[in-house]
Structure 1
């Protein structure tokens, strides 16, 4: 972890940051906030009451809670918490949030006892914030919490829709399978390459789970792309050497400057966790041989059916590998926690916990592989620690990340046929024993570490961002 000494300044400039209220978006935004604070800026965080972070972990920040303050506003009650349905909250805030945000920003801009505001930095999915910032002549930068490659795919959704990809169905996707989308599972088109992005298969596009409806997720993504291009700058949770050609494309096509910064190497995400970490397993983990344990975690939102959970259970047992498995309460649909587990499953072979400090686990010498949903934070954290991956994506950017892990960087195996115990067992054994894969993962880690040194790409990106924000 890079050690940032606080710059001695009088904090006359303030940055307002507005994360999306989901774990995978809160983490990088608060890591960015810590980075800017370490460079001398005063920090104000706007946040919804929904999924609000533990403010006591951030005594150096000012928090303002907005948008869902009214307990009588029925628009925001009883909204889904899992899967694609969780985005309904994002859709609503984008539709109705402008007036409240404008009012809050007007107060911040006119506050006499606060430092002057340099700019607003919002999650890219808060696309409604661009027009609000424009109306106040306030520069808006965006934080894009997934890969540069993902942004290029999202920007190409109209083209991919014209090719008919978004109307296909697939029964290997955990998210879609749970909704019973089985119509065209034998369609040979699913295995074809995507012409414009030959590293992808058509089924990777289908697995994203998007339809191009204007009022739903497709509309949010379409507007996100447009308003990101209209922003004053884009901050990426990535680094140049990982996505060099994608960065070149974006810098050619978008006039706003881009700043790729791998936040996990600057500040840990543990303080922004919405769930309490269980650390009780560390004495057990400390006793295991190097590279002997499979770490399993599928993020903060995903949910599976019990039949798929049991395939995971048998796949793990049959691999005969040591494991540490994060099973979030509610992860198994219809269960509170571990009710479906067969008797005797937990033996000396493994541990199950409700939540874990992931970066610390991935950096532990006993970890030999990471079985992941391939959310971008998890993917990048694994790259940061040189840990090869077993990939089981659910939706959104995850299948794109999984394809890159397996076919472009070649540091993992993509379980692209859903939950099948034999394939799970085979993938775990392969990743735990493939020395060439482990070496490629180690090389990526070395490139990342090099980028953080003085004169390296990530170091220069931080310096450029600080200078840019200071210029407003």
Structure 2
């Protein structure tokens, strides 16, 4: 009599679905490549608009497909079909997110069915969209929050802050008022350091706060949570999240770009929505060691003409060389960009539309980073030991900049100020007066970041556990 052979498990098939914004696609595509290296099936789902920008400006996308036969890209509509009027990926990205949340479930369902998905890794912004589908198909759901742990914890503390009457913030509020009822961050944050959705909330805007509370609670209903951070960087905050949500599996895998670089032993693939101007690398080669201030306010920040002029004069007056990224869609005033370029000597500064940021930050000529404090930019600066001057714009950036200056001690926070003299002084503090102090702190954290993704480091081990968890999801 023949012995019945045990049924073999099928190979897991993971669907990764990021929010269609640069700061979300970037780390989630890095994660997709890390998983693909493990020879697992990956479907990376983008909106058509975002995918078209990826393949337009990145030759690496085709290289990825050739390198990893089990990785594929799929697209869905974002319900904004007019390319000329598309809100894109700037301040109006919220319009796309709302449309996908309201109408995207059938499209996501179709992909799950057609690709026989066994595990969902979905941007936390879409947690509500994916929960029902995960239950419907009996598959595991993992949410990926692309913000820092400290920002996520601030979001999760909203109900407590409302209960303690620390939120909402009144219109005439003293923005330096200390927030006292946030466990793990007592007496650290001021009103101005809260993520922008809260710091700008008025008394009659409880609906906006309620929506934020709902979305964050939904994202924690997943089977597991991925964070792009590392244990040594945000241990006290991670302890608070684990204490209050003990059933949630949390995988800290960051810094993901460095994790991938270490695994591949080469630079990670680009996922930029803009064409990089590589002339900046030639210019950097001609600059002395740690002499250049790198300036980039990210893919979304919108600036007024007077703000740009103040930043420009602050850089010029500092007498330090600078490399400044000014996106084509960042300057509204016609002729201003030309005025800046003509008024900047090639000896002191270079203004370009976009750069390969990881290469720039790792260059020996970079001595400081004037940044919007987006989480990806913050992590990249941490890895390369570059001190920061923070000028946050919105969302998580306010709290990130506070941690850079007051917790990690690797830079200065210029929040809510745009003054040429203030910037001049901060540049000279970071580059000259307090240079050794900031460099020492930055290099110490850089070593911890490298340790986390090295063999037996916390992020290395957590990724190994994540892969085992994904394999266990196969039917």
- State TM-score, norm by structure 2: 0.86
Matched-pair contact (CA < 8 Å) for 1:165–1:206: no
Equivalent residue for 1:94, pick from 76, 94, 101: 101
Q: Report deviation, 1:57.
A: 4.5
* 2:394 corresponds to 1:402: no
In the TM superposition, residue 11 of structure 1 has moved relative to its aligned partner by 9.4
1:305 to 1:16, Cα distance in 2 relative to 1, 3 A: same
Paired residue secondary structure (1:51): helix
**Partner deviation per Cα, 1:426-456 (whole Å, 9 max, x = no partner):** 1111111221111001000111112222222
Aligned counterpart, 1:123 = 123
Give the aligned partner of residue 58 of structure 1.
64
Instruction: Tell me the equivalent position of 1:168.
Output: 170
Please say if residues 123 and 143 of structure 1, whose CA atoms lie closer than 8 Å, have aligned partners that are also in contact. yes
Higher helix share: 2
Q: 1:341 deviation in Å?
A: 2.1
Cα distance, 1:168–1:343 mapped onto 2, change above 3 Å: farther
Mapping of residues 16-165 of structure 1, within 5 Å = 16-52=15-51, 53-54=54-55, 55-59=61-65, 60=68, 61-68=71-78, 71=81, 78-79=86-87, 81-83=89-91, 85-109=92-116, 117-127=117-127, 128-161=129-162, 163=165, 165=167
Question: Is the CA contact (8 Å cut-off) linking 1:303 and 1:331 kept in structure 2?
Answer: yes
Listed as ranges, the gaps of 5+ residues in structure 1 are: 1-9, 110-116, 170-183
Structure 1 match to 2:191 = 202
Q: Secondary structure at the match of 2:119?
A: strand
Checking the alignment, whether the CA contact within 8 Å between 1:393 and 1:399 is kept in structure 2 is yes
Residue aligning to 1:193: 178
Match of 1:295, SS state, is: strand
Q: How far 1:283 sits from its partner (Å)?
A: 1.9
Give 3-state SS (helix, strand or coil) of 1:159's partner: helix
Structure 2 distance, partners of 1:395, 1:166, is: 17
Give the corresponding residue for 2:324: 325
Q: 5+ residue gaps in structure 2?
A: 1-8, 56-60, 261-266
1:96 Cα offset (Å): 1.8
Question: Structure 1 residue 153: deviation in Å?
Answer: 0.4
CA positional deviation for 1:321: 0.4
CA distance in structure 1 between the aligned counterparts of 2:416 and 2:26, rounded to whole angstroms: 30
Contact 1:319–1:425 (8 Å) recurs in 2:
yes
CA distance in 1, matches of 2:223, 2:34: 19
CA contact (8 A) 2:11 2:471 kept: no
- Sort the Cα spacing of 1:95 and 1:201 in 2 relative to 1 into closer, same or farther, 3 A: same
User: 1:437-456 alignment to 2 at 5 Å?
Assistant: 437-456=438-457
Over 3 Å counting, the alpha-carbon distance change for 1:228 and 1:139 in structure 2 is: same
The CA deviation string for residues 222-254 of structure 1, in whole angstroms up to 9 with x for no partner, is 233112210011111110000011111222222
Paired residues, number:
435
Q: Is the 8 A contact 1:48 1:68 kept in 2?
A: yes
What whole-Å deviation, never above 9, does each CA across 1:37-77 have from its counterpart, x for those lacking one?
A: 111211111111122232424313211111337848x9x95
32-41 or 132-141, larger mean C-alpha shift: 132-141
Where 1:58 maps in the other structure, the secondary structure is: helix
Distance 1:68 1:360 in 2: 32
TM-score by length of 1: 0.86
SS, match of residue 338 in structure 1: helix
2:122·2:143 contact (CA, 8 Å) conserved in 1? yes
8 Å CA contact 1:330, 1:337 repeated in 2:
no
Counterparts in 2 of 1:211 and 1:89: CA distance versus 1, 3 Å: farther
Partner in structure 2 of residue 179 of structure 1: none
Deviation of 1:271 after TM superposition, in Å, equals 1.9
CA distance in 2, matches of 1:362, 1:67: 35
Bigger mean CA offset, 333-342 vs 21-30: 333-342
